[in-house]
Amino acid sequence: MSVLICPVCGEILDNNGRGLVCPKRHSFDLARSGYVNLLLSKHIGKTVHGDNKLMVRARRDFLEKGYYSPLKNMLCDKAVEYFKGGVILDAGCGEGYYTSAIFDKLKSANIAAEMYGIDISKTAVEFAAKRGTDIFFAAASVFHIPFADSSCDMLVTMFAPYCGGEYLRVLKKGGIMVMAIPSENHLWELKKAIYETPYKNQVKPYELDGFTLADKVRITYDMELGSQEDVQSLFSMTPYFYRTSPTQKERLAKICSICTKADFELLIYRKN
């Protein structure tokens, strides 16, 4: 039985070979690249449009160079450790870098997984779908997840907006949520080179309503960024990018290479 639900009426969606359709005849065509658009206009905020093609391509190229491989590898190891088979949702999957890595790792470990990825950026899920895997990708908001109640065994959220109510709704009782967050020293040297008064990241308390923290691991290492292109790509992936003045962006443009700290926390929660 399908775990996907119609974003219009909430009925179960079935695959008819050309796309998805619900009993009330709401239909959603499969794009040429292989994803389905389940994003309704009313689910898109006035200031939220998702990443554009240049941003998605820059992030994809940066990640494929391996700068975040230690995080990816630990994420995959934790997925194998905690996932016992069933349905996994990557909520805010971007271009599918982590989604595909988890799926491949589970497959190599002979763990059966029905894998899904959603993102508000249609451009991002188009890139993800073109990876040519057996993962189902859809354009959708994490605040309006088109999944049935208690349909997911694991949910992954990699630096995406947190929507506890929706995550609790779609996870089964005892289901696992894997969350990645930047820790206090992430990109500290890069921030010092750009800002006059840089601040370290503030890590919020780990307690989340409806969840119990089951495990956590910190991943810290030095990143050697050897080109201006990689420096710009990395910075554009962060929230700082949107709060940076023209003067600070000029300083960023002059950085051709830098060694900066990568500092992440991987948090494993279990639904109560």
The CA distance from 11 to 50, in Å, is 26
Does 219 reside within a domain? yes
CA angle, residues 233, 235, 237, in degrees to nearest 5: 75
What does the DSSP assignment read for 126-163? HHHHTT--S-EEEE--TTS--B-TT-EEEEEEESPPP-
Does 217 reside within a domain? yes
Does 2 reside within a domain? no
Does 115 reside within a domain? yes
Distance of CA 164 to the CA centre of its chain: 15
DSSP 12: B
User: For the domain that residue 141 is a member of, what is the CATH number?
Assistant: 3.40.50.150
Report the number of distinct structural domains present in the chain: 1
pLDDT tens-digit map of 115-170 = 999 999 999 999 999 987 799 999 999 999 999 999 999 999 999 999 999 999 99
The CA distance from 107 to 105, in Å, is 5
- Helix (H, G, I), strand (E, B), or coil: what is residue 79? helix
Instruction: Give Cα separations from 134 to 139, 141, 171, 187 (angstroms).
Output: 16, 21, 21, 34
Does 192 reside within a domain? yes
User: Residue 21: how many CA atoms within 13 Å on its side-chain side?
Assistant: 7
pLDDT above 90 coverage of the chain, percent: 79
Tell me the backbone φ, ψ of residue 129, rounded to 5 degrees: -65, -30
Nearest to 142 by CA among 160, 124, 158, 128: 160
Instruction: Please say if the pLDDT value at position 204 is more than 70.
Output: yes
pTM, two decimal places: 0.93
The CA distance from 139 to 121, in Å, is 6
Does 23 reside within a domain? no
pLDDT at 46: 53
Does 7 reside within a domain? no
Tell me the backbone φ, ψ of residue 173, rounded to 5 degrees: -60, 130
Average confidence (pLDDT) over 85-90: 98
C-beta of residue 115 within 8 angstroms of C-beta of residue 91: no
Does 22 reside within a domain? no
pLDDT at 50: 63
Domain of residue 52, residue span: 44-271
pLDDT at 133: 77
Average confidence (pLDDT) over 200-222: 96
